[in-house]
Homo-oligomer: A and B are copies of this chain.
Amino acid sequence: MTLNRSWVLARRPEGAVAVSDFEYREEWFIAPELAEGEILVRSRIFSCAPTIRNWLNAPGRSYRGSIGIGQPIRGMAAVEVLASRHPRFSQGIRVTAVAPWQDHAVLRPDEAAVPVTAIPDGMDTADAMTLYSPNSLTAYFGLFSVGEPKPGQTVLVSGAAGSVGMMVCQMARIAGCRVVAVAGGMEKCRWLEQACGVARAIDYRSADVARQLKAACPEGIDIFFDNVGGRILQDAIDRMVPHGRIVLCGQISAYDAGRPAAGPADMMKLVYGRIRMEGFVVGDFADRHEEAMANIRAWAGSGRLSCRVDLREGFMKLPSAFADLFAGRNKGTLLVSNPEERL
């Protein structure tokens, strides 16, 4: 016999996410009868991504599907198919999917909002969750299709040490741009400058972000890739060149604040600056995933693109890892593995 452990939502977080917002449950695992189109999976690695925070809000305040109280948390995961009644996902393969924070779960790939994707044979499971994940695609399409970088331009990236941000920094370098990064803490800033080719990384917790931004971007900012929102958005607008472009990817500064992220403080600067600000979601670029992945593979193969991974071991660590993410206590993409444990 084996357990099916799960983490469910105990209460909706007020302000900062706390470990006590989650409740641990366990029951004996009994393999269910699968219906046509269903797959039974065993979780291997969970990704603690900021977007999960949105789903913890009440239905009216959540952007895409709220998790009910007492319901399992869900998020991107790499899982192994234990049994299948789906023609495309046979037993034994690994897939990435939005899955509940459980040991075992039944998924219905044809009804999934986020595509269930087979992990190619021979690909490391953690790589599939990082370098070859939707995070990299998000960075790719946001930077190249929305941002349209040109060699020699200055690209500012907020949340630069995060899963998407670090990819944007490296891809902007590949595009021949000068990259200025904003991240939380000196350790992350040093890493961005030393490992990601960033010309200058600014600690957003320091007192004089606007002044540092001015010094780091003497010729202005051509593209601002914003993962964070809030204060940094107006600081960036104040330094944008005419016809500059702001890529709206996320608003992590607001996810924990308990209220929506407000926009710029001075809209007239967008008018006179002819600034374009544009949101996007990676799902809109599904027909170009092959192209993006081919480039990402080539860049990774030649050592120009890599991912810093903060891998924690053990299903029990999911809530504390998730809280660490919002406190900035992670060093890279936060993954939690769920190895087999004999009880």
Answer yes or no: A8 CB below 8 A from chain B CBs. no
> Is the CB–CB distance between A272 and B279 below 8 Å?
yes
Q: Given contacts A262-B267, A263-B263, A267-B251, is CB(A272)–CB(B229) below 8 Å?
A: no
A54 to chain B: closest residue by CB: B268
| Extra A-B contacts (5), CB below 8 Å, given A272-B279, A273-B279 | A64-B272, A233-B267, A260-B267, A261-B266, A270-B279
> Is the CB–CB distance between A274 and B263 below 8 Å?
no
Q: Which residues of A pack against B, CB within 8 Å?
A: 54, 63-64, 229, 233, 248-251, 254, 260-281, 284
> Is the CB–CB distance between A267 and B229 below 8 Å?
yes
Q: Given contacts A277-B277, A277-B278, is CB(A268)–CB(B272) below 8 Å?
A: no
Question: Given B264, B271, B276, which contacts A250 in the complex, CB threshold below 8 Å?
Answer: B271
Determine the distance from Cα of A273 to Cα of B277 in the docked complex, in whole angstroms. Answer: 12
Q: Given contacts A263-B262, A263-B263, is CB(A274)–CB(B281) below 8 Å?
A: yes
Chain B residues with Cβ below 8 Å from A63 are: 268-269, 272
Point out which of A249, A251, A270 has the most chain B C-beta atoms below 10 A from its C-beta: A270
Question: Given B249, B267, B272, B284, which contacts A263 in the complex, CB threshold below 8 Å?
Answer: B267
Chain B residues with Cβ below 8 Å from A261 are: 266-268
